[in-house]
Structure 1
């Protein structure tokens, strides 16, 4: 019983190198897309307006 349980647990030890590589590529692609969106003109202006409004608020 114990050996059977060990065999079942060892079948899925985690991701292999190719899965890590695909995960890293996907994460980098998403980061680049997010960077492009955040640094685009309209979004950048909106974010700057929000920050300026927050900094100029009276307490």
Structure 2
């Protein structure tokens, strides 16, 4: 009878090894996912910096600056 159990034990051992490998692969994928989130944050920060750069360039324009000053002056005159 032990002859019949030997293949079953072998299959069970193979299944345990496969399970260990699958869990290890899942752990590696989870680590990779965390890196992806960090990369997404980096892209968002780069986009925000680029947008800030565009705003600074717009604000340096004399026409835009005059328009904003007029807008603030009108708002202050209306309030006071």
- Rg comparison, structure with higher value: 2
Measure how far apart 1:47 and its partner are. Answer: 0.3
| TM-score normalised to structure 2 length | 0.46
Aligned residue for 2:52, secondary structure, equals: helix
More helix as a share of residues: 2
TM-score, structure 1 length as denominator? 0.58
Aligned CA RMSD, in angstroms, stands at 3.1
Q: Residue 37 of structure 1: CA displacement?
A: 0.3
- Aligned residues between the structures: 52
Whole-angstrom CA distance in 1 between matches of 2:79 and 2:73: 12
- Residue equivalent to 2:10: none
Pick from 66, 72, 77 the counterpart of residue 45 of structure 1: 66
